[in-house]
Amino acid sequence: MEGRVRAVKRHEFGSGWAQFKIRTYLYDNSRVFTLGDRYEANGWAAYKFNESFSVSAGARWEKWGNIDGDDRGLAAISTRDPHTSGVFLSGLRASLPLGINFLMPEGSRLAGHRISFETVYALHHDYVGPQLGLDWGISLGWVAAF
Burial of 103 (0-12, 13-18, 19+ CB in 10 A): buried
Q: What is the pLDDT of residues 64-74, one digit of tens each?
A: 888 776 666 66
pLDDT tens-digit profile of 38-62? 999 999 999 999 888 999 999 999 9
- Give yes or no for residue 28 having a pLDDT over 80: no
Please report which confidence band the pLDDT of residue 78 belongs to, taking 50, 70 and 90 as the band edges: low
- Predicted model pTM: 0.70
Domain boundaries, the chain: 2-144
- CA angle centred on 141, ends 137 and 144, rounded to 5°: 165
What integer pLDDT is reported at residue 13 of this predicted model? Answer: 85
Other CB atoms within 10 Å distance of the CB of residue 58: 19
CA distance 30 to 69: 12
Average pLDDT, stretch 76-97? 73
Q: Over 90: is that where the pLDDT of 27 sits?
A: no
Q: What is residue 75's predicted lDDT score, i.e. its pLDDT? A: 59
> 112: left (phi > 0), else alpha (psi -120 to 50), else beta?
left
Q: How far apart are CA 38 and CA 123, in angstroms?
A: 19
Residue 8's pLDDT band (cuts 50, 70, 90): confident
Give dist(CA 67, CA 17) in Å, integer: 31
- Residue 93: CB atoms within 10 A of its CB come to 19
- Among 79, 83, 6, smallest CA distance to 40 is for 6
- Residue 97 pLDDT level (bands cut at 50, 70, 90): very high
HSE on the CB side for 107, CA within 13 Å?
Answer: 2
Average pLDDT over every residue of 81-108: 82
Average pLDDT, the chain: 82
Share of the chain above pLDDT 90, in %: 36
> Could you tell me which residues come within 8 angstroms of residue 107 by beta carbon, excluding any fewer than 6 positions away?
none
Whether residue 81 has pLDDT greater than 70: no
